[in-house]
Homo-oligomer: A and B are copies of this chain.
Amino acid sequence: MSQANRTAPGGSPERLGAMQAARLLARREITAEQLTRACLDRIQAREPIIKAWTCVQADAAIERARQLDRGPIQGLLHGLTLGVKDLFDTADLPTTYGSPIYRGHRPKSDAASVALCRQAGAVILGKTVSTEFATFQPGPTRNPVNPDHTPGGSSSGSAAAVADYMSHLAFGTQTAGSIVRPAAFCGIVGYKPSFNHVTRAGVKSLSESLDTVGALARSVEDVALLVAALTHDRRLLDLDWQGTARIGLCRTPWWDAADPDAQAALESARIALSRAGATVSDASLPGSFAGLVDIQQEIMAFEAFQALSHERLTAAEQISPSLTALLQRGESITFQRHQENLANAELARRDMDMVFNGYDLLLTPGASGEAPRFEASTGDPLFCRSWTLLGLPCVQLPVTTGATGLPVGVQLVGRYAADPALLRIARWAEGRLAA
């Protein structure tokens, strides 16, 4: 059974959904302090195993919650707990970007997205583990469903913290598959908004053409809530929807790389959503689609080589072998080649926009199966790379469990900038996919 399906057993405050908790807070039926203490207790109990956090500010969080309890409702996130991926600058907490180069680093300012959440009333519990500069070298975080496995990356700590009821909400970022994949592996909901929807100011840059700030939580309404607080897009707050969803089933050119669990989850979702009234048909993708994974990899490598220039010039010995290899690949790509890649991506975006004339969303795998074992890797972003490159909004939903008992989900992909429509149908689907 997925994490999403066990949000409120016993009504423990840390297990409430964020939106649920917000309603209780608005009615003064629960306090921010209660929510915060429940999450901190959970962290104390579970953190030795899960290792989701680089730092936790228990006293400051409780003080902040008390302040909020004394005043009027401050904003959309009033009193809700939030984990901040350690790729985001924070003025009151160390910020390492997942790299030993930045051990003990304390930025002067908060990332703009962090400030927006503070303004909206969030209680920041601490910083969550990121892989090295949001690439592939893992941190210590374990999968809360089974600590022998990876939580995925790069938003490892955020996904694990939310899945394990340590926080109601958490920030993620995605450059290849760093929101959708850890959400899938941990059995929660991940939402990568359309490209250029959420400010990246103060978030460590990896690839400017790809980096996207998004949300991890345990339900669609909760991920939408966090992004609504960031964009001030009120449409994300009303996800009620009735209608007949037109769903394009997209096995992708990489279908053979999906293991039986991932294939079964997609099939199961197809059946459940058809039964619930959606029209589901095989999506026909433009010919340019199959090449997008290579293009995404080259753009990411080229831009990471540029973005991490200071680090590779001043602290190369503290960069992991896997990231060093990525940067070397980036260095080998000419600017002309990079421009061709960007131009081809732009053409593919226009092609893909036509596809959405026939569908409200695409239903497709978000990961190749269950979370790999911890020692193996943080998993493969193969099933996310093309969608990230296209800049399309993506939502990962938990569906089932695989052979090892770990969560397996599906990914819903919407038309560019049609995030409200995607989230409305995703919320509808979420109710139909629940076991």
Q: Please, which residue of chain B has its CB at the minimum distance from the CB of A107?
A: B108
Chain B residues with CB under 8 A of A303: 199
17 contacts between A and B (CB under 8 A): A91-B314, A110-B309, A111-B310, A112-B205, A112-B310, A113-B309, A114-B310, A115-B310, A115-B314, A116-B306, A119-B309, A199-B309, A201-B205, A201-B306, A231-B335, A232-B335, A234-B335
Residues of A whose CB lies within 8 Å of any CB of B are: 91, 102, 105, 107-116, 118-119, 196, 199-202, 205, 208-209, 231-235, 303, 306-311, 313-314, 334-336, 339, 342-343, 417
Contacts A119-B313, A233-B336 given; does A205 touch B196 at CB 8 Å: no
In the bound complex, residues from chain B placing their C-beta under 8 Å from that of A339 are 417
A109 contacts across to B, CB distance below 8 A: 310-311, 314
Q: How many copies does the complex hold?
A: 2
A204 to chain B, nearest CB (A): 8
Bound CA span A232–B338, Å: 11
Contact B201 A307 (CB under 8 A): yes
Known: A208-B200, A208-B201. A112 touches B231 (CB 8 A): no
- Chain B residues closer than 8 Å to A233, beta-carbon distance: 335-336
A308 and B119 alpha carbons, distance in the complex (Å):
13
Give the chain B neighbours of A309 by CB distance below 8 A: 110, 112-113, 115-116, 119, 199, 201
Main secondary structure of the interface of A (DSSP, over half): helix
Nearest B residue to A349 by beta-carbon distance? B346
- Nearest residue in B to A104 (C-beta to C-beta)? B108
A306-B205 contact, Cβ under 8 Å, with A235-B336, A313-B119, A342-B196: no
CA distance A34 to B115 in the complex (A): 47
The answer to whether B196 touches A209 (Cβ under 8 A) is yes
A188 to B343, CA, bound (A): 32
In the bound assembly, the distance between CA atoms of A192 and B232 in angstroms comes to 31
Closest 7 CB pairs of A and B: A115-B309, A201-B205, A233-B335, A115-B310, A201-B307, A199-B306, A112-B309
Question: Hey, which chain B residues are within 8 Å of A417, CB to CB?
Answer: 339, 342-343
